[in-house]
Amino acid sequence: ATLDLVFFGTFISPSGWVGWGINPTSAEMTGTRALIAFPDPNSGQLVLLPYIIDPTVKLQKDPLLSRPLDVHLLSSSATLYGGRMATVHNGATIQIYATLKLVPNKTKIHHVWNRGLYVQGYSPTIHPTTANDLSSTATIDVLSGIAAKGNNNNIYTLKIIHGVINAISWGLLLPIGAITARYFRHIQAL
C-alpha cells in the first residue's frame, strides 16, 4: 500500500534548487505537489520543503511559497550524493527520498522534475525553458512497472507548423511579390 521513491538530480548553480514531485491529475507542471531542495539562505544547510505548483506560479504572478502537500506523503528527505560533508555546488548530485501511500484503484503516477538557478529567500525562481526542461515529466504505471516519457508532441507539432509556414512564405509568397513588383509595375490597378 506504500511506494518508496528516490530521485537523483543535479544542481546547475551553487544557489540553485532541484525539485521533484507528483501531479495527481496529469503529467504537467501545473498542479504538481513538489519537494524542492536548496541550500538554506541563512545557514547554507540543505533544506527540503513542500510546494504546490499552481497556475499563478507558472505565469510568474506570485512567488512560489512552501505549504503542506495534499497527497499521501508519509515521509521525505534529501541528501547530497557524497555524504553529509558534501556541499552544494554546480553539478552536485542530490537524492530526494519519499514514501507515498498509494491511492486505491489508481495505478498511474505522474512524475515531474526540474532544477533552477537560484532561490529568493525560500522561494525557488523559474527554471530554464529549454526543450528538456519543458518536457521533464514521466508517467509510471505501478502495476506493470512501465514508464512513459512526458508528452513532447506539442513541441514537435509546433516545429512542423513553423517549417510549413516558413516554406510557404519564403518559397511562395516572397517570389510572387518579387515577380509582381518586377514585371507588373506598369499596371496601375496592381
Backbone angles phi, psi at 55, to 5 degrees: -60, -30
Per-block mean pLDDT, blocks of 10 residues, the chain (190 long): 90 91 88 91 88 78 81 89 67 90 85 90 86 83 74 72 94 92 79
- Give residue 85's pLDDT: 56
- Give residue 190's pLDDT: 57
Cell matching residue 14: 551553487
- Give residue 125's pLDDT: 87
C-alpha span between 115 and 15 (Å, rounded): 11
Is residue 156 classed as helix, strand or coil in its secondary structure?
helix
The DSSP annotation for 79-122 comes to EETT-TT----TT-EEEEEEEEEPPTT--EEEEEEEEES-EETT
- Give residue 58's pLDDT: 67
- Give residue 69's pLDDT: 84
Query: Where is 20: in which H helix or E strand?
Result: strand 17-23
- Give residue 149's pLDDT: 62
Query: Using one digit for the tens of pLDDT, what is the confidence trace for 26-62?
Result: 888 888 999 999 998 888 888 999 999 887 776 667 7
| Residue 129, CA distances (Å) to 86, 97, 122, 134, 173 in order | 28, 26, 21, 6, 33
Residue that has been written with the C-alpha cell 509510471 in this structure: 140
**Is the C-alpha dihedral spanning 151, 157, 160, 162 positive or negative?**
negative
Q: Identify the DSSP state of 172.
A: I
Helix, strand and coil in the chain, % to nearest 5:
20, 35, 45
- Give residue 159's pLDDT: 87
- Give residue 154's pLDDT: 67
